[in-house]
Amino acid sequence: MTLTVERGGRVVEQHTGRARPRRPRDPYALFLLPGVLAFCAVVVVPFLMNTGVSFTEWQGVGSPTWSGLANYRELLDDDEFWASFRHSLFMVVAMAAVPTAIGLVLAAALFDFVGKHFGSRTAAVLRACFYLPQVLPIAVAGIVWSWILAPEGGSLNELLKAAGLGSWQQDWLGDPDLALYSVMGVMVWVQIGFPLVVFMAGLQRVDPQLYEAAELDGAGWWRRFWHITLPQIRPETYVVLLWCTIAALKVFGAVYVLTKGGPGGATNVPSYFSFTTFFEKTQVGYGATISTVLTVIILVLALIGLKLQTRAEDAEDGVRT
């Protein structure tokens, strides 16, 4: 069966060349069928349902009642919602900006400093240490850190006491003014390995002659970092920033395990907010509205990011050819 379609395709292709699309039907389209069907069932249909529900009032049972844009209007006046998005921006700093910046410096230091002077094995071991938190389930990382940051008998407070800094002891996750920063600290720890590994891989394709030439010209480490390393791994930087920003906007598990959005909503983020609205308050319509807005923001960011990335790649290809 496949064979006949296949042959038909080839014959037509020989006759008409590349200009015309193959006629009987694209034989390869069949291979896409299971994927497309599965996607419709698991992603497209639920997503459309969710968007539809966002225009209704619904408790999860019975049938939803149409309410038009009422949920969206309510959202605009909802302080809790705005607060959760403000916290999201903090998460972007902790999960995208800071890890990318630290990752760049670490990667450069590990690659052209430790790697060159102490051997690539040393660099690989150090890289592994930084990457380790990335493979840890976020739920487990949350358990580890909420115990370390515990106010009574937590390791951090014990450590401060042992160091004679008892007055610095804090209720790290229970103090509304502090909790968000504590969560941010944990997220930096979780996230840092990803940019590091990507950047170290990216540095491998940078021409070593560039560095040698700069070194001969008397450029110090920071200047080489600034003028060679950064421009050379710009494509990787775009990708990492985009991925990490999206991950930051989606952050859920860490908040669930560390603080449950508390204390008093001080660490609430949109994904956790929509989760509680769905499953604890059972205001399904409103929960759907929150997640729809979150989706729109993420997709817009993703499109901008992809656009920037292709433009950067095109520019790069232009230079190369």
Partner 1 sequence: MTAVRRYPVLLALCVGALFMVLPFAIVAVNAVKSPAEYSANGPLSLPDGLYLDGLQSFWERVDFGQKLVNSVLISGSVAVLAVVLSVLNAYAIGIGRIKGRTWVLAFFVLANMLPQEALVYPVYFLSKQAGLYDTRLSVIIVFTVIQAAFGTYLLSAVLGRFPREIIEAARIDGANAWQVLWRIVVPVSRPTIGVLLVFFFIWTWNEFLLPLVMLVSNDNQTVSVALGVLQGQRLMDATMTNAAALLGVLPAIVFFLVFQRTLTRGIAVGAVK
Quick one: 180 or 269, whose CB is closer to partner 1?
Answer: 269
Q: In degrees rounded to 5, what are phi and psi of residue 128?
A: -60, -40
State the burial class of residue 297 (Cβ atoms within 10 Å of its Cβ: 0-12, 13-18, 19+). middle
Q: CB of 79: closest distance to partner 1 in angstroms?
A: 20
- What is the C-alpha separation between 119 and 16, in angstroms, rounded? 58
Quick one: 137 or 176, whose CB is closer to partner 1?
Answer: 137
Q: CB of 286: closest distance to partner 1 in angstroms?
A: 11
User: Nearest-CA neighbor of 184 among 103, 118, 92?
Assistant: 92
Quick one: 129 or 216, whose CB is closer to partner 1?
Answer: 129
Q: CB of 54: closest distance to partner 1 in angstroms?
A: 9
Q: CB of 143: closest distance to partner 1 in angstroms?
A: 5
Quick one: 134 or 178, whose CB is closer to partner 1?
Answer: 134
Quick one: 147 or 226, whose CB is closer to partner 1?
Answer: 147
Helices (H), the chain: 2-16, 29-39, 45-53, 70-76, 79-92, 98-109, 115-118, 120-135, 138-148, 155-162, 179-191, 193-203, 208-216, 221-224, 230-232, 234-250, 253-258, 270-279, 284-320
Rg (CA), the chain: 26
Q: CB of 183: closest distance to partner 1 in angstroms?
A: 14
Q: Any bridge partners for residue 65, and if so which?
A: 57
Q: CB of 200: closest distance to partner 1 in angstroms?
A: 8
Task: Judge if the upstream peptide bond of residue 34 is cis by omega within 30 degrees of 0.
Answer: no
For residue 17, the 8-state DSSP code is: T
Q: CB of 87: closest distance to partner 1 in angstroms?
A: 15
Quick one: 145 or 172, whose CB is closer to partner 1?
Answer: 145
How far is the first Cα of the chain from the last one, in angstroms, to the nearest whole number? 45
